[in-house]
Amino acid sequence: MKHLDLGQVSRDNPAALERNGVKNLLSMKKHTICVLGGTGFVGRHLVNLLAASGHRVRVASRHRERHRALLVLPTVEVVDANIHDTQVLGELIAGCDTVINLVAILNEAGPNNFRAVHVALPHQIALACREQGVKRLLHMSALNADAKHGASHYLQSKGEGEDVVHAAADENLRVTTFRPSVIFGPGDHLFNQFAMLLKRAPGILPLPCPNARFAPVYVGDVIHAFNKALDDKATKGQRYDLCGPRVYTMRELMSYTARVMGVKRELWGLSNGLSRLQAMLMQLLPGKPFTMDNYRSLQVDAVCKDEFPSLFKLKPTAVETVVPYYLGRRDQHAMFDAIRVQARHDY
């Protein structure tokens, strides 16, 4: 029942790749790929998968030496680069046939505002792709992104960024966008953040927007979709919503996290008015742990209308089959609890 850590998969072990549903990766066309945002949570998993597939990968970073786990991968080049500099960006993607943009922020801070990161940067990336002759652009957006009707500045800017890259597409540049719900997996900012809050809570945890709904999607499923789209012409011009197999409320996710950790906390679900007040206060704290814009995003359910796109040929992974292995007590009880939960889910 051990779950695959794609970061540990090697090209020299094709049997392991096939056993875990990553079939025929080694026989695929090899690409030279620039991954922007490749040092982040999703980026690290994706770069490892691309390297395991035999692709040459270039990753931009402001602090190259901090990413030794990527530096040791034989087909990966980590480059010190400021991707907001248009000249540097062009030099970075020169010689690549594919660019993957994963760059995003959840909160604004100084020059890193939503328009600069989610709109202006994708615009520059698309222009650079056309100038450098890049044939393929894969772009990470977000579920509920909508330039005109997004519930928050975050979702509006993500929607505008989507529109920008698709407007730049032509017969020489094929663009595909992915719109995931919240993403979970080893190193995530979802369950690990919940775990930190639970550890710090003195017995009681005030919970904003307790009835907000999500369909968390596994990072391994997200990067599988990116990898599959590299050579699939049917994905040209498409925007794919990506969700996991089950919908949870905020309260259910937090309660599940506490059970996996083996801690007891009383969750106080806040009313709409108190949730707004908490956001107004917490956005003034260092790091902005919860903002009014976050609050507005939570007013829209992060769930998909349809199942995981059939084109990608996978059954989306359940939270219960993965989270205990990186968040739980890592003992036999946690493992068997996960097996029992998944058995109930499957049958």
For β-strands 76-80 and 204-207, DSSP reports them as unpaired
Adjacent-strand bridge partners of 101: 36, 139
Claim: this prediction has a pTM higher than 0.85? yes
Token pair of 96 as six digits = 């690549």
**Regions of the chain where pLDDT drops below 50:** 1-22, 25-26, 330-347
Which pLDDT score, from 0 to 100, does residue 304 have? 98
- Measured CA to CA, the distance from residue 68 to residue 49 in angstroms comes to 16
DSSP for 294-346 reads HHHHTTS-B--SSPSPGGG--PPPPGGGTHHHHHS--SHHHHHHHHHHHHHHH
Domains, the chain: 6-184+218-243 (3.40.50.720), 185-217+244-347 (3.90.25)
* Mean model confidence pLDDT for the chain: 89
- Measured CA to CA, the distance from residue 130 to residue 133 in angstroms comes to 5
Which pLDDT score, from 0 to 100, does residue 102 have? 98
DSSP for 17-64 reads HHHTT-TTGGGSPP-EEEEETTTSHHHHHHHHHHHHTT-EEEEEES-G
Contact at 8 Å (CB) between 215 and 318?
no
Which pLDDT score, from 0 to 100, does residue 122 have? 98
Residue 236 burial (CB count, 10 A):
13
Which pLDDT score, from 0 to 100, does residue 264 have? 94
Residues contacting 68, CB < 8 A, separation 6+: none
Q: By C-alpha distance, which of 104, 101, 147 is closest to 126? A: 101
